[in-house]
Structure 1
Amino acid sequence: MKKILFFLILAFNVIFAQTYTSEYYEKQAQILRNLDIDPSFMSDLIFVQIREELESKHSGVLVNSIQNFSKVTPMIRKVLAKEEVPEEILYLAMIESGLKTHSISNAKAVGVWQFMQATARNLGLRIDAYVDERRDPVKSTYAAANYLKNLKNEFGKWYLALLAYNCGNGKLKQAISKAGSDDLSILLDSDKKYLSLETRNFIRKILILAFLANDKDFLLQKDGSLMNYALSNDFVKVDIPSSVALKDLAQSANIDLETFKKYNPQFKHNFTPPGNGYYMYIPLNKTAFFEKNFKNTHFKKVDTSIPMTKIYVVKAGDSLYKIAKTHNVGIEDLRELNKIKKNHLSINQKLIIPIKEDKNAKNTKSKNHYTQIVSR
């Protein structure tokens, strides 16, 4: 058996040497070292066997993340560098969410880093009826970096922090205890199953994306512009007043509202939260224009009360126009509330319908069981 393993590893090393340049090999070895993984892990039999399959399945995540979230990637990389954590942690976020700021898992984890509400609040992120800072790529990355640094301090190695991020501290401690080792190859043993398949493949996927991101041939083959994904795209954080319309703030920075919302996904509504002011992000090249207009603009306060809503289930024959007319609401209000871009609706699709408050009615909420929007 040992001879068979030896020849398999030897064969892989020969193939690897023929396929990859020494420069690319060294880049991969450095990625492993950055995560406290011995470079010999590249010869791990299971990793060798499933590497091509993982590349085929998950390379699209890398390409899509770079192409569609080019504004988010530099923001995350900058925070990771500032917090002095391995840059490879960026690929953890790609695996978790594809860098989608509005990503929501089946377990209700939200944002780029897929934080559960309790964890996010413990890390200092604000979540309420007005904002969800799990969607803020800057604040949530600071939170993720601190969380991972705490895990690294607890377990001693970065790859163990990544494993714990996926499966939890308790399960990782149990796995290390059963294995009698914290060596990565041992913990990922597919026969012993010290960790779940999801967790075993979690770190493998991170490594695959990190390897591909440093493979010039792969990037050029997919799209030459991907080579520039690490270029700086600086944003600045500016203080803004409470209870003002986002469209007015966007206009003051000479940014269209849709783009503004991409820069600031933490807002749940079209206005800033009430209270003592808040913040927003704008591109660095818009700063001078914003500062000039901001000083000379009187921002009108808007109503920040959150509308009461009900759920409507789409039936055969329904259209946006018909539903809006029946419930006495604007079509654009329906589009905005339900994030609908096209006119097509599906039967049994659930729509959030705003309810106009009848100030003359008594006990309206209890009679109709209205529900307040807390998150989307």
Structure 2
Amino acid sequence: MNRYLLLNIILFIFSVNTIAQVQDSIPVDLAELDTFAIDSVESDSISDEMLELDDAMNEIFSERMDSLFHSWEVQNRFDFDSSEVVFNSFPTNISDSVYMERLRDIEQVVDFSYNKVVKRYIQMYTEKKRDLVEVMLGLSAYYFPIFEETLDKYDMPLEIKYLAIIESALNPTARSRAGANGLWQFMYGTAKNMKLEITSFVDERRDPLKATDAAARYLNRLYDIYGNWHLAIAAYNCGPGNVNRAIRRSGGKTNYWEIYYRLPRETRGYVPAFIAAAYTFEYHKEHNLVQRYPDIPLSVDTVMISDYLHFNQVAAKLDIDKEELRALNPMYRRDVIPGKAKKPYPLVLPNSVILDFVDKDTTIFAFEREKYFPNNTLMDPTSTSYFTPADIKGKDKVVYTVKSGDNVGFISSWFHVRASDLRYWNNIHRDIIRIGQKLAVYVPEGQLAKYEKLNSMSFAEKQASIGKSVKPAAPKKVEPLDPNYVYHTVRRGDTIWDIAKQYAGISSDDIMKLNNLTNDRGLYVGQKLKIKRKG
């Protein structure tokens, strides 16, 4: 028999086998996502009573959301007035029956199961991470219409849109420790196999339209394999190979909750977190969660660019800031659109400037063209005026000492350099810097004295240098301690829920009543909280 005919027959048989017979011989493009070691367990199935709540799972998603909250984009594009203490009450201790009824009332195709793990994630979203959920609610006004249109195109359940909450917290430039990138967290290999373009200038993993289309196609392939959305969603996270092994090791069971402990650790929390995200977005009003909208236009349009174009050229001729262009066009890695007549690229602009762009396009493309594109060619990104590696000549080096309250975004803004350059020059990983750390910053030649002054300026003065004002923090009233009570000193990152866990027999409600609090927003580092009466 012709070996190619034989191969086709084998592939056909593979495609119609039941899920319990799926083997590891999966197309390479379905096996490129993050994979983790499988944890062995004695039981093959799981019940609500058997579910063990793993705090580490919460930490994984909590860290992912915190990375968005502390990013430059969120801190600079959302209104967070640190001097303002807002006391918004919200319901706690909601009964399981209410959660279950609400989940049943959501119109969905994906099964929204409910158990203790799902409840834990709902509480994380609605009680512990309220600020960030309000940010994501605001961002969803921009991204969800894109997701829904694409999901509808492929006749997929629209609730799949909530998967991006788990993947990236709706941060289009999110990057995982393993290298997954964008709203849908594609690894490099998977992205290439899904026909996403990744070059020195363009990364379509960060293009909301292209990445969403690829994610929908990829999830459809996974659903074709498993015929079950829970398993397809799990495979999106850890790869089909890990899901197949979990199915085999459980004796061919295909219920997500029956193979729960056979899955990698992060994936166990993936489906519950997805269900909890759907619940939170559907019922955010019931939890007194209010959308916070970003300081970028939500009404936008797209023009196709058929020639090389730099963001500086657009910003110089239109009433638009370069940072706004970056926020609306996160797929361009060097502020350059490498458009060609045979291969145009999209430029997303606010509706308010679209007509101006059309009217001035010739002037925009001609502005300082030789500077950005000498001889009408793309310059090497490692030797242009807009990207400067640490060892290039023609730049002055400033050594900046990190102060309390600094972060990578602030420092790059003060020195007018890209955050990616600052990370590259100083080998910064995941934006982690420490007080007292010495950072090398490369500034235009001849401007050394100007930028050295930043070392001796206050935070407010540095913000003022880029046109940002800092409102003085309201003085906090210090109440005398009552000697009849046990007190807890609030540390960075504390929540009322975390504090209550440290004291036997004490609930978060007890602490809030004793201290006249209604939520975590009234906490500050160093605060003394009453816990209980002594004796």
TM-score, normalising length: structure 2: 0.50
Residue of structure 1 equivalent to 2:328: 263
Question: 1:233-244 counterparts in 2 under 5 A?
Answer: 233=298, 235-244=300-309
Residue 354 (structure 1) shift: 8.6
Structure 2 CA distance for aligned equivalents of residues 154 and 6 of structure 1: 27
Q: Separation in 1 of the partners of 2:191 and 2:441?
A: 26
- Given the superposition, is the C-alpha separation of residues 351 and 141 from structure 1 closer, same or farther in structure 2, using an over 3 Å criterion? farther
Which of 183, 193, 196 pairs up with 2:255? 183
**Partner of residue 65 from structure 1, selected from 112, 132, 136:** 136
The reply to whether residue 164 of structure 1 matches residue 235 of structure 2 is yes
Q: 1:65 to 1:266 in 2, by over 3 A?
A: same
Of 346-355 and 104-113, deviating more is 346-355
**Higher RCO structure (Cα 8 Å, ≥6 apart):** 2
CA change 1:270–1:351 in 2 (3 A) is: farther
Shift, 1:141, TM fit: 0.7
Amino acid corresponding to residue 416 of structure 2 in structure 1: E
| 1:252 Cα offset (Å) | 6.2
Q: Distance in 2 between matches of 1:352 and 1:141?
A: 36
Partner residue of 2:197?
126
Count how many residue pairs are aligned between Structure 1 and Structure 2.
313
Look up the equivalent residue of 1:307 and give its one-letter code.
Answer: T
How do 1:1-376 residues align onto structure 2 when only pairs under 5 Å count?
15-17=95-97, 19=98, 24-28=102-106, 30-31=107-108, 34-35=109-110, 37=111, 41-42=113-114, 44=115, 47=118, 52=123, 55-57=126-128, 61-68=132-139, 70-179=141-250, 180-188=252-260, 193-218=261-286, 221-223=288-290, 225=291, 233=298, 235-250=300-315, 254-273=319-338, 275-276=340-341, 277-284=344-351, 286-294=353-361, 298-300=365-367, 301=369, 302-303=372-373, 304-305=378-379, 306-308=381-383, 309-311=388-390, 318-319=399-400, 331-333=415-417, 337-338=421-422, 347-348=436-437, 353=442
Q: 1:167 to 1:251 in 2, by over 3 A?
A: same
- Give the letter for the 1:147 counterpart: Y
Greater Rg, structure 1 or structure 2?
2
Partners of 1:255 and 1:26 in 2: CA distance = 45
Shift of 1:105: 0.9
Query: Alpha-carbon deviation of 1:274?
Result: 5.9
Query: Take 1:242 and 1:105, find their aligned partners in 2: how far apart are those partners?
Result: 33
State the shift of 1:52 in Å. Answer: 3.8
- The Cα shift of 1:241 comes to 3.1
Provide the secondary structure at the position in 2 that maps to 1:88.
Answer: helix
Contact 1:334 1:353 in 2 (8 A): no
CA distance in 2 between counterparts of 1:307 and 1:89 reads 39
- 8 Å Cα contact 2:415-2:443 kept in structure 1: no
AA partner of residue 188 (structure 2):
Q
Q: Note the C-alpha offset of 1:184.
A: 2.5
Give the gaps of 5 or more residues in structure 2.
Answer: 1-46, 51-93, 392-397, 402-413, 426-432, 446-535
C-alpha distance after superposition, 1:126-155 (max 9, x if no partner): 111111111111111111111111111111
C-alpha RMSD of matched pairs (Å): 3.9
Look up the SS of the partner of 2:175 in the other structure.
coil
Query: Distance between the aligned counterparts of 2:442 and 2:233, measured in 1?
Result: 41
Match of 2:28 in 1: none
Instruction: Answer whether contact 2:196 2:205 (CA < 8 A) is retained.
Output: yes
Aligned to 2:527: none
Deviations 1:314-346, CA, capped at 9 Å, x for gaps: xxx9239xxxxxxxxx94346684389xxx995
The answer (yes or no) to whether the contact 1:75–1:137 under 8 Å persists in 2 is: yes
Counterparts in 2 of 1:178 and 1:61: CA distance versus 1, 3 Å: farther
Letter in 2 for 1:116: M
Q: Can you list the C-alpha shifts for 1:332-373, whole angstroms capped at 9, x where unaligned? A: 346684389xxx9955566575999xxxxxxxxxxxxxxxxx
Structure 1 pair 334/111, CA: closer, same or farther in 2 (3 Å)?
closer
Are the counterparts in 2 of residues 97 and 111 from structure 1 also a CA contact under 8 Å?
yes
Query: After TM superposition, what 4+ stretches of structure 1 lie above 6 angstroms from structure 2?
Result: 5-8
Change (3 A) 1:239 1:214: same
Q: Would you say the 8 A contact 2:422–2:441 is kept in 1?
A: yes
After superposition, what is the alpha-carbon deviation per residue over 1:6-55, rounded to whole angstroms, capped at 9, x for unaligned? 999xxxxx9444x4696x34334x33xx11x2x6x33x465457754575
Does the aligned pair in 1 maintain the 2:166–2:273 contact within 8 Å?
Answer: yes
Structure 1 residues 20 and 53, CA gap change in structure 2 (3 angstroms): closer
Taking only the aligned residue pairs, the percentage that are identical comes to: 24
Aligned partners of 1:76, 1:88: CA distance in 2, in Å? 10
Whose helix fraction is larger, Structure 1's or Structure 2's?
A: 1
CA spacing shift, 1:54–1:265, aligned 2, 3 Å: closer
